[in-house]
Amino acid sequence: MTAAAMPATVRRYQTARGRGLTFAGLVKSEWVKLRSLRSTWWCAILLIVFSVGFGVPIAGAMMDRREGVAGPQGADDFTVLLANNGLTILGQIVAVVLGALIVTTEYGSGSIRSTLVAAPRRTWVFAAKVIIAAVFAGVVAAVALGATVGGIVALLQGAGQDNGLGAHASALAGGGIYYLVVTALIGVGLGFVLRSSAGAIAAGIALMFVAPMILALGAGNEVVRFILEITPMQAGALMTTSVPSQHGAGLALGGYWGGAACLAAWAVVALVPAYIAFKRRDA
Amino acid sequence: MIQVEQLTKRFGQKLAVDHLSFTVEPGWVTGFLGPNGAGKSTTMRMIVGLDRPTAGQALVDGRPFTQAGAPLSEVGALLDAKSANPSRSGRAHLAGLAATHGIGRRRVDQVIAMTGLEAVIDKRVKTYSLGMGQRLGIAAALLGDPANVILDEPVNGLDPEGVAWVRQLAKALAAEGRAVLISSHLMAEMAMTADRLIVIGRGRLIAACSVSDLLAASGGLATRLRSPQAGQIAAALASPDVVVTAEGPESLLIRGLSVEAVGQAAAQRGWIVYGLTPVTVSLEEAYLKLTDTAVEYRSAVPTHQGAAK
């Protein structure tokens, strides 16, 4: 055996291949992983189909009573208000699922081990997943919203009405997309804490959907009503289904920007424990 | 080079790894042996930072692996057959890992060719056999041309051809100057692959030695001989260094002499020999003797659920 002479002639391998681990490389890696799963594209297609499928027909049914639906101040912004309605009804669930799956598919399949051996800097891995989840959810939400707005505008024009894009159109569109980005990040956070697809999705639906319904039953109580108003769904509604000048009076969060701040707080509340858990727990 | 220093891992009440220290040097295949549940996988997971040690540390080329600048070039690890998403293609799995380091498509194609996965690489991992899954894991481990290679039970589930391939690969990687650490619970497998052995049981170091050291410790060489002249041969061969045991009327177990030595003696003295076999079970016996008190889960206990692997 010639191995006895080996240690003296050891080759150096460090950084022999590639550029070494970089944050940009990790973000790209997360994108490669995300796009190579069918579940990603199912989520994207579902988000678009639900948005158009709910948004356009409901707008069609309501377009003859625009003021009754959106209030006198919202009539001009009818199109994006109704498009946001379509986008978020089931889209918020899809966004939670999408965000959760970015994390839980790694734990469910064991590929988290490969990921963390290639990139043991967990802070970077965490940040890369958050960025990819936010950007992908934002882009898909924008496409879904755009398609829904297009459908509603076509309906309105077909009926001889104005296109329903008022002064608040872009603020509302931004609100709708922002809301889905935050829900996706809540999914990411739940994914890191619970590590299981079923668990994270169930918890996400409970938080987004079930909690507001239950809280609404006790809305007579001041504390319960306050909690209801700061749930992601209610905070999101301030940005998506009411025009910026419409709300404020009597609501804990004020209006549009109060909702935005509350959603940002939800993202932080979901992601900080997730980061701590990811950093500290064994993979 | 991998240095494990006083590494300790506690899961609740259970000490999975107990003040374990050893070194894996470049240029050698180091076999990591122990019964199932001895703490081999946990130790490997701590080396690459998947598990956080309760105490002690593991260093890869002088620093904790989590601080590596190019982790894929420092450690290539096959930790579990299940380390790729079954819904993804093998190529996407490798491409995702390669992207972290800016490793190009050419290198990805290279490791696919090295592991013989060309035919299946674009299929989803769920369609792979266990052996193909292992090969994909090895391809991933080799992506960064790593200076250290860690393979956890790499021959599990492989067919004989695959076993031979892993054995040759491990030796070739070591011959290129890499530090190679391979775990197994099978002594015979390690005897054929490893230059050095680290034997653990219940998380503790039992022995760190070469394969031949272990052989020597177990009573050295042994030969089984069948002959109608068994009694005569036993008397002729017996000496302070050679212990001859009669296993039957025509069968002898000769400890302390190699097959070659016995064969030559037989030719010189004109003995009739029906059979002459080198006895390698002594290695397995030595291993079992070493780990006897350190076996966590005895087969006499009618349960399989405890085994960690």
For chain A positions 221-280, those within 8 Å of chain B (CB to CB) are: 280
Domain boundaries, given as residue ranges, for chain B: 2-216, 219-279
Helices of type H across B69-129: 71-74, 90-100, 105-114
Phi and psi at residue B179, to the nearest 5°: -90, 125
User: Residues of A with CB below 8 A from B27's CB?
Assistant: 3, 6-7, 10
Question: Smallest CA–CA separation between B44 and chain A, in Å?
Answer: 11
Position with higher pLDDT, B195 vs B281: B195
**% of chain B residues with pLDDT over 70:** 89
Q: What is the 3-state secondary structure (H, E, C) of A131-150?
A: HHHHHHHHHHHHHHHHHHHH
Helix or strand holding residue A264 (H, E)? helix A256-280
- Of residues B278 and A282, the one with the higher pLDDT is A282
pLDDT digit string (tens) for B70-109? 999 999 999 987 889 999 999 999 999 999 999 999 999 9
Q: How far apart are CA A106 and CA A86, in angstroms?
A: 31
B108-138 confidence digits (pLDDT tens)? 999 999 999 999 999 999 999 988 999 999 9
Q: What is the mean pLDDT of residues A231-235?
A: 94
| Closest chain A residue to B91, measured at CA | A36
pLDDT of residue B207: 87
**A72 and B CB contact within 8 Å:** no
Question: Which one of A9, A10, A13, A197 makes the best mutation probe of the B interface by having the most chain B beta carbons within 10 Å?
Answer: A13
Residue closest to B51 by CA, chosen among A113, A194, A30, A276: A113
**pLDDT of A217 higher than 70:** yes
* Domain B2-216: top CATH class: alpha beta
Q: Note whether B66 contacts A16, CB cutoff 8 Å.
A: no
Please give the span between the terminal C-alpha atoms of chain A, in angstroms, as a whole number.
Answer: 39
Confidence of residue A69 (pLDDT cuts 50, 70, 90): confident
Average pLDDT, chain B: 88
* Sequential DSSP letters for B232-287: HHHHHH-BTTBEEEEEETTEEEEET--HHHHHHHHHHHT---SEEEE--HHHHHHH
Provide the β-strand partners of residue B9. Answer: B17
SS3 A227: helix
**Could you give the dihedral angle defined by the CA atoms of residues A103, A106, A112 and A116, in that order, rounded to the nearest 10 degrees?**
-40
B-chain residues near A19 (CB < 8 A): 101-102
Kindly report, residue by residue over B157-172, the tens digit of the pLDDT.
Answer: 788 888 999 999 999 9
Q: Is the pLDDT of residue A282 over 50?
A: yes
**pLDDT score for B186:** 81
Residues of B in contact with A3 (CB under 8 A): 27-28, 174-175, 195
Using N-to-C axis directions, what is the helix angle for A38-62 and A66-74, rounded to 10°?
A: 100
The reported pLDDT for the residue numbered A4 is 41
- Please, are residues B75 and B146 in contact by the beta-carbon 8 Å criterion? yes
> Closest partner residue to A7 among B27, B61, B69, by Cβ?
B27
Q: Residue A6 pLDDT more than 50?
A: no
Which residues in chain A touch residue B177, judged by CB atoms under 8 angstroms apart? 6-7, 9-11
* Residue whose C-alpha is closest to residue A98's, from A9, A25, A19, A184: A184
Residue pair A104/A33 in contact (Cβ under 8 Å)? The answer is no
> A47-56, A62-71, A242-251: which range is least confident on average?
A242-251
Q: Do residues A98 and A136 touch, judged by C-beta distance below 8 A?
A: yes
Model confidence at A7: pLDDT above 60: no
Q: What digits encode the pLDDT tens for the residues B243-252?
A: 888 888 899 9
Cα separations (Å) of A112 from A28, A156, B291, B294? 16, 49, 33, 31
**Do residue A121 and residue B66 have CB atoms under 8 angstroms apart?**
yes
Packed helices A91-109 and A122-158: angle between N→C axes, nearest 10 degrees = 150
Locate A259 and state its tokens.
């909702």
B252 φ/ψ angles, rounded to the nearest 5 degrees:
-125, 145
A228 CB-side CA count, 13 A: 16
ipTM > 0.90 for the complex: no
Each residue's pLDDT tens digit, A17-29: 678 999 999 999 9
B2-216 and B219-279 have identical folds? no
Tell me the average pLDDT across A242-269. 80
* pLDDT per position as a tens digit, B197-244: 999 988 999 889 887 777 666 656 678 899 999 888 988 888 887 888
pLDDT digits (tens, 9 = 90+) for A113-132: 999 999 999 999 999 999 99
* Residue given tokens 């998947």 in the structure block: B50
Residues of B in contact with A107 (CB under 8 A): none
Choose among B258, B159, B198, B140: nearest CA to B17.
B198
Integer Cα distance of B151 and B273 in angstroms: 43
Alpha-carbon distance B292 to nearest alpha carbon in chain A (angstroms): 30
Least confident piece of the model among A249-263, B54-68, B199-213, B258-272: A249-263
pLDDT tens-digit readout, A165-188: 988 899 999 999 999 999 999 999
**pLDDT number for residue B304:** 43
Architecture of domain B219-279: 2-Layer Sandwich (3.30)
Residue A69, CA distances (Å) to A60, A61, A79 in order: 12, 11, 11
Give the pLDDT band of residue A72 (cuts 50, 70, 90): confident
CB B11 within 8 A of CB B37: no
CA distance B201 to B185: 11
Nearest to residue B271, comparing CAs of B283, B262, B280? B262
Distance of CA B249 to the CA centre of its chain: 38
